[in-house]
Amino acid sequence: MDLEEFRRHGHALVDWLADYHKTLAGRPVQAPTRPGEVRSILPAEPPEAPEAFEACIADLETIVAPNLSHWQHPRFFGYFPANALLAGVLGDLVSTGLGTVGLSWQSSPALSEVEEVVTDWVRKMVGLSPQWVGVISDTASTSTLVAMICARERTTDYGLAKGGLQAEGRPLVVYASAGSHSCVEKGALLAGFGRENIRMVPLDDRHGMRPEALQELIEQDIAAGLRPCAIAACVGGTATASIDPIREIADVARRHGLWLHVDAAMAGSAMILPECRWMWGGIEGADSVVINAHKWLGAPFDCSLYYVRDEQHLMRVMSTNPSFLQSSVDSHVRNLRDTGIPLGRRFRALKLWFLIREQGVSGLQARLRRDMANARRLARIVDATPDWKVVAPVHLQTVCIRHEPGDKAGDALDEYTRVWADAVNRSGEGYLTPAMVDGRWMVRISIGAPGTEWADVAAIWAAIQRHASASLKHAPPSLEAAGR
C-alpha cells in the first residue's frame, strides 16, 4: 500500500466507521451468531496472491459487523460501559499509525511526557493528592498483578533480588474482598502467593468488605505463623458496583503494615464527580489504585491507569537496565519500561489526551451524571412495580434487579431469571448480563454507553417486562436443555 492508497482507504475506513455508528441503534445488540459460524465463512488458508484492500473493507460490513455484540449500542447494558468516544478512536488510530514504541524516554520522548502529563491531569480530575504518580497499562488485570508483586516485594524487602518467595520462612497472605473481581485472585496467584494464602473477606449486607472480619482473619493468620502482606479492596465491585469502606480498611492496613491496593477500575471514572468521592473516602491511605479509563470514562480499550504513592518502589521492582537501552539522559527522565511488566508500550496516552481535550472535564462529568440519574430513575420505577426488586444499592450506574413472582423460589427462580435475561438478549432489543449475588441469580442493567438516553433505558425496561412475562406464560426450555 503506498501513501496515496493509504490516504484513500483511510478515508473510506473512517467513513465506514462513521456509518457504523450512525446505524448502530438499528442493529441487534447481541450478535445472533452461532459458535464457529464466522470461522466457517472465512478461508482456512491465507491468500497466496495479494487481495485488493477494498475486499477487507467490504468484509467489515458483511462478516464482521453482523457478527458482533455492539458495546457502543445505546441499548447495551451488559458487563460495564466500555466506551469508545470518537476523539479517543482517532487518538488510537494515530497511536497505531505512528508506530512508535515507548521503551525508554529517548525512544519516544513525546510518548513518555504526554503520558506523564495526562496521568497527572486524571489524578487531579479524580481528586488524588500530588503524592500519587500514574502510569498507563493495558488492563486492570495487569495493574493488579503489578500491585501484588509490589506488595510482595515490600514485605520481603526485595526478595526478588535474593531467593524470591521460595526463600521466605513464612507464607505471605493476601486478603481480598469477597466481591472482588477475578483479576485480584489471578494477580495474587500469578505473583506466587498460592491459593492457600488468599483469603476472601466476608461482605456486609450492602456487599462491602467487613473491616472487622478482615482484622480477625489477619490476627488468625499471625497466630498461625503466617505473614499478612496485602489487602485488595474494591470501589465499584463487578457484580453490583459495591463499595468497600476504604478508610476503615486503610486503618487495618496501616496497623499491620500491609499494602492496600484499591480496584477502582469501574468506579474510578465517577471520581471526576466531587459528589461521588465519598465512595473512596480514605483513599489517601492506600498504596496503589487502578482506574480503567477504558470503561465509563470513554477512552477506547485498552487504557488502564495505575497510580502508586511510592514511585521509587515501583521502579525498583520493575526496572531493567540492559546496555542497549541505556542513554545519556537516564538520570533526568522516567523510562516507562521501569514502571510495569512489558518492555515496550503503545502510545495509549494519545487517546486519553484527545478524549479529555475534546470533551473537557465538564463534558465527561455531564455524561456520567446523566447515566447515574437514569440509573436512579430506573431503580425507582422497578422498586414501585409489583413483584420486581432492586437487589443491591444503586451507587453508580448499575441497577441489579430480579422478578420474584409468588410461585417461584430457589433454583426455579434462578432458572426463570436466567431464561428471561437470555430471551431479552436473543431478541436483540438489548444486552444484559445476569450474575449471582448472595448465592442467587439476578440481572444487572449496566447503564452508560455513550448514546444511552432515558428513552433507551425505558425501552429495555419495557422489553424486560415483556420477555419476563412471556417466559412465565410459555415456560420456554431451560438454558441447559437449549444448550446455552
Ligand X SMILES: Cc1ncc(COP(=O)(O)O)c(C=O)c1O
Helices (H), 302-409: 311-318, 349-383
User: Should residue 146 be labelled a site residue for ligand X when binding is judged by CB under 6 A?
Assistant: no
Is the Cβ of residue 83 or residue 141 nearer to ligand X in the bound state? 141
Q: How far is the CB of 394 from ligand X (least distance, A)?
A: 16
DSSP per residue over 49-87, as a string? Answer: S---HHHHHHHIIIIIGGGS--TTSTTEESSS-----HH
Q: How far is the CB of 235 from ligand X (least distance, A)?
A: 8
Q: How far is the CB of 279 from ligand X (least distance, A)?
A: 13
User: Should residue 265 be labelled a site residue for ligand X when binding is judged by CB under 6 A?
Assistant: yes
Grid coordinates 480499550 are at which residue? Answer: 301
Beta strands 172-177 and 398-403 are unpaired
Residue of 119, 292, 359, 446 that binds ligand X (CB under 6 A): 292
Kindly state the cell numbers that stand for 189. Answer: 496467584
Q: Quick check: helix, strand or coil at residue 413?
A: helix
**Part in contact with ligand X (CB under 6 A); list of ranges 149-157, 261-269, 318-326, 327-335:** 261-269
Q: How far is the CB of 239 from ligand X (least distance, A)?
A: 9
**Part in contact with ligand X (CB under 6 A); list of ranges 28-36, 234-242, 368-376, 469-477:** 234-242
Q: In what order do the strands lie in the sheet with 288-292?
A: 133-137, 304-308, 288-292, 259-263, 227-234, 172-177, 198-201
Residue of 304, 374, 398, 417 that binds ligand X (CB under 6 A): 304
Percentages (nearest 5) of helix, strand, coil residues in the chain: 50, 15, 35
- Rounded CA-CA distance 42/357 in Å is 40
Is the Cβ of residue 234 or residue 413 nearer to ligand X in the bound state? 234
User: Should residue 340 be labelled a site residue for ligand X when binding is judged by CB under 6 A?
Assistant: no
**Part in contact with ligand X (CB under 6 A); list of ranges 211-219, 260-268, 329-337, 391-399:** 260-268
Is the Cβ of residue 74 or residue 237 nearer to ligand X in the bound state? 237
Q: For residue 445, which of 361, 375, 373 has the smallest C-alpha distance?
A: 375
Contact 448, 366 (CB under 8 A): no
Residue of 214, 266, 271, 368 that binds ligand X (CB under 6 A): 266
Q: How far is the CB of 237 from ligand X (least distance, A)?
A: 6
**Part in contact with ligand X (CB under 6 A); list of ranges 44-52, 114-122, 137-145, 160-168:** 137-145
Kindly state the DSSP code that residue 406 receives in the 8-state scheme: T
User: Should residue 140 be labelled a site residue for ligand X when binding is judged by CB under 6 A?
Assistant: yes
Residue of 92, 115, 248, 263 that binds ligand X (CB under 6 A): 263
Q: Which of residues 199-228 bind ligand X (CB under 6 A)?
A: none
Residue of 107, 139, 427, 433 that binds ligand X (CB under 6 A): 139
Is the Cβ of residue 181 or residue 334 nearer to ligand X in the bound state? 181
Q: How far is the CB of 290 from ligand X (least distance, A)?
A: 7
**Part in contact with ligand X (CB under 6 A); list of ranges 139-147, 225-233, 269-277, 327-335:** 139-147
Beta strands 133-137 and 172-177 are unpaired
**Part in contact with ligand X (CB under 6 A); list of ranges 138-146, 252-260, 338-346, 406-414:** 138-146
Q: Which of residues 171-200 bind ligand X (CB under 6 A)?
A: 181, 183
User: Should residue 346 be labelled a site residue for ligand X when binding is judged by CB under 6 A?
Assistant: no
Kindly state the DSSP code that residue 444 receives in the 8-state scheme: E
Backbone angles phi, psi at 8, to 5 degrees: -65, -50
User: Should residue 115 be labelled a site residue for ligand X when binding is judged by CB under 6 A?
Assistant: no
Measure Cα distances from 264 to 172, 274, 290, 381, 455 in Å: 24, 15, 5, 28, 29
DSSP per residue over 269-297, as a string? Answer: GGGGSGGGGGGGTTGGG-SEEEEEIIIII
The identity of residue 335, as a single letter, is: N
Q: How far is the CB of 245 from ligand X (least distance, A)?
A: 16
Q: Which spans of this chain sit near ligand X (rule: CB under 6 A)?
A: 80, 139-141, 181, 183, 234, 236, 238, 263, 265-266, 292, 304
